[in-house]
Copies of this chain bind each other. A is one copy, B any other.
Amino acid sequence: MKQSRGIKPIAYPAPVYIVGTYDAEGNPNMMAAAWGGICCSRPPSLCVSLRSATQSHGNIVARKSFTISIPSETYVAEADYAGLISGREVDKFAEADLTPVRAEYVDAPYVGEYPVVIECALTHTVELGLHTLFVGEVRDVKADEDVFDAQGKLDVTKIKPLIWAPDDRGYYGIGEKLGDAFAIGRALMNDQTEG
């Protein structure tokens, strides 16, 4: 028997995206966002939701650009820090000893030390309430050499992304591999003939 947990923003897993933007003077900012995800395959697009009170929100509206940097486990403190304070108060890159790198295809900075970076050009802005949902078309995915596998694909076990758990508000690592998609479920296709 299921119990109600009420009306809350809960689903698993949630990501830890570090959103990179420039302000009007070209100063780099970053903030942590767990409300977001991939939202389209063609054109490849990501969405991220921010409160209008944040500096990053205004930066995205003005520059039509943002990056998503994916921190690895070793940067859990830096990722949390990026969500603790406003870029209006301090230079968060400097305080966290991280390097803002100018993106190649969009007008935004990314975190040089993080293993995977997605450059996004703003395409849709949807006001939902406390949060504004921004959709960005992917202009490039960049990753450190050592997180590619032998086939040239990105290996999540090398990236070691952070995972955010709503409700208990904890950061987690990624666990063991459980199976391959479009494969492990075939055993249940009892009545299907493949060929």
Interface residues of A (CB under 8 A from B): 1-15, 17, 34-47, 49, 68, 70, 73, 76-85, 90, 95-96, 116-118, 123-124, 126, 128-131, 133, 135, 138-145, 148-149, 153-156, 159, 161-192
Contacts and interface: CB of A to CB of B under 8 A. Distances in A.
A44 B144 contact: no
B37 A188 contact: no
A128 B35 contact: no
Determine which residue in A1, A39, A145, A170 has the highest number of CB atoms from chain B within 10 A of its CB, and name it. A39
Nearest to A17: B11
A20 B105 CA distance: 38
18 contacts: A3-B143, A4-B140, A9-B138, A11-B38, A11-B116, A14-B38, A35-B39, A41-B129, A77-B179, A80-B185, A84-B182, A90-B191, A149-B168, A170-B180, A170-B181, A172-B174, A174-B174, A175-B175
Query: How many copies of this chain are found per oligomer?
Result: 2
Given A7-B138, A10-B118, 18 more contacts: A2-B143, A4-B140, A4-B142, A5-B143, A7-B43, A8-B141, A11-B38, A12-B116, A12-B161, A45-B129, A78-B185, A81-B186, A85-B189, A153-B168, A171-B178, A172-B177, A173-B176, A175-B176
Contacts of A187: 77
A181 B169 contact: yes
A31 to B, nearest CB: 12
A59 to B, nearest CB: 19
B188 A78 contact: yes
A96 to B, nearest CB: 5
Given A181-B80, A190-B95, A128 B39 contact: yes
A152 B149 CA distance: 42
A138 B82 contact: no
Nearest to A15: B13
